[in-house]
A = this chain, B = another copy of it.
Amino acid sequence: MAVQTVAGTSTTTPAFADNPHQNSFGPAVALSCRECGTRYALTPVFACQECFGPLEVAYELPLGDPEDLRRRIEAGPANIWRYAPLLPVPADVTAKQNLNPGWTKLVKADNLARELGVTGGLYVKDDSGNPTHSFKDRVVAIALEAARTFGLTTLSCSSTGNLAGAVGAAAARAGFRSCVFIPHDLEQGKVVMAAVYGGDLVAIEGSYDDVNRFCSELIGDPIGEGWGFVNVNLRPYYGEGSKTLAYEIAEQLGWRLPDNLVIPIASGSQLTKIDKGLQELIKLGLVEDKPYKIFGAQAEGCSPVSAAFKAGHDVVRPVKPDTIAKSLAIGNPADGPYVLDIARRTGGAIEDVNDEQVVDAIKLLARTEGIFGETAGGVTVGVLKKLIETGQLDPAAETVVLNTGDGLKTLDAVAPTTGPTATIRPTVAAFREAGLA
């Protein structure tokens, strides 16, 4: 069978040669440093020993006949495992206990298109349909399978929301212990969502940054042996889950690429992995090679990548977040420079909207398409509107906008401005008087 290296270089270190779990990672052959290309064995490591660059999964993908691969995928299950041939998971992954996220709806959003003046076709990729109602189920599912392969027994993360629920739920289903760390002053609703799956939930007296620092310390301590922090030592695997958004969008469009994608930016990992997924589809011949533009979306109160884009900088200056879009509130986004690269290379852009625009966009999406998105969905839809109004995105081109979470988790954002049209006595006369007949 013909093979071709899709990502990474062929540099091989001794660590790479010693690859004890090769058969459990499908087409993945190594971890590869994004900066210097040094390769490592597929183990729970995340930073390059040579240059401290981030590691990512490198593949030798079978090329063969794209038609065969398409048919194989289409015959697969209605979840991310239909793409198992393109993911770092074992061939029998569907036999494991997993939440099986993905294959969420790609909604043709004609009403929203009319409101925004989009004439080239507009779609919402609605990831609120995942098991715990955010895209985090995708990334956690891959991290979980890596943890299983490595013999890790505790699944962990630091989180202020979506990730805590995704880790708790996935661990419960898979029979892992979970231990999730949150700041002690989270709203009760989020605490309940994180705790209900029955794992350990530890509230840390400090800020989210304190929680993260504590987690890094724990990984280095003997206590952390056997622990998989999904977004730290399992991060290279975790990140690959976002590629499935690219695969699904292309397949749901009938195996082709859209012209524009509008993607939220928190750490920036999701955006970079969607780009990686689109590139893989082209290289595998699963879609026709055509240009696409990637647009990044941030909230004004946490817009370091948008600011760097507008200023023409290659580096991202950290900020202290202050926005209602808390799931995007990462002030020092690890993948910021790569996001800048991608937006510039593809001819896209990065924009931000303020909190009021976020709320307006949540309501716009709800009243046009019946989709109640999270604040992150308000950010992407709001940015799409702004990109069109400022002439940065061509409304005659076909566009996909992501909603990565669920409005039920961020009710507070819309509550102050969302309520009954009228309050009346239970009589027809009162209804008529209210002017609603």
Contacts and interface: CB of A to CB of B under 8 A. Distances in A.
Given A173-B111, A409-B408, A206 B426 contact: yes
Contact of A169 (B105, B188, B370, B411): B370
Contacts of A191: 418-420
Nearest to A373: B196
Contact of A421 (B202, B420, B421): B202
A204 interface: yes
A97 B78 contact: no
Nearest to A201: B420
Nearest to A210: B426
A205 B426 contact: yes
Given A205-B423, A205-B424, A200 B436 contact: yes
Contact of A214 (B204, B370, B422, B427): B427
Nearest to A427: B214
A211 B111 contact: no
Interface in A237-288: none
Given A105-B100, A182-B420, A408-B133, A414 B202 contact: no
Interface string A177-212: 001001010001101110111111111111000110
Contact of A111 (B97, B129, B408, B437): B97
Contacts of A211: 426
B129 A436 contact: no
Contacts of A129: 129, 131
A134 to B, nearest CB: 11
B421 A201 contact: yes
B97 A419 contact: no
A46 interface: no
A368 interface: yes
A1 interface: no
Interface string A206-241: 100011011001100101000000000000000000
Given A196-B372, A205-B426, A427-B214, A172 B367 contact: yes
A26 to B, nearest CB: 23
A110 interface: yes
A218 B202 CA distance: 53
Nearest to A179: B436
Contacts of A418: 191-192, 195-196
Contacts of A105: 100, 131
Nearest to A207: B426
Interface string A366-387: 1111111000000000000000
Contacts of A172: 111, 366-370
A31 interface: no
A300 interface: no
B367 A197 contact: yes
A99 interface: yes
Contacts of A206: 425-426
- Across chains A and B, which 4 residue pairs bring their CB atoms closest together, nearest first? A198-B367, A169-B370, A173-B370, A214-B426
Interface of A: 78, 97, 99-100, 103, 105, 110-111, 129, 131-133, 165, 168-173, 175, 179, 182, 184, 188-189, 191-193, 195-206, 210-211, 213-214, 217-218, 221, 223, 362-363, 366-372, 406-409, 411, 414-415, 418-428, 431-432, 434, 436-437
28 contacts: A78-B78, A97-B110, A100-B105, A111-B172, A111-B173, A165-B372, A169-B371, A171-B370, A179-B436, A192-B414, A192-B419, A195-B418, A196-B362, A196-B363, A196-B372, A196-B407, A197-B366, A199-B367, A200-B421, A200-B422, A203-B420, A205-B423, A205-B424, A214-B426, A214-B428, A218-B428, A223-B437, A406-B408
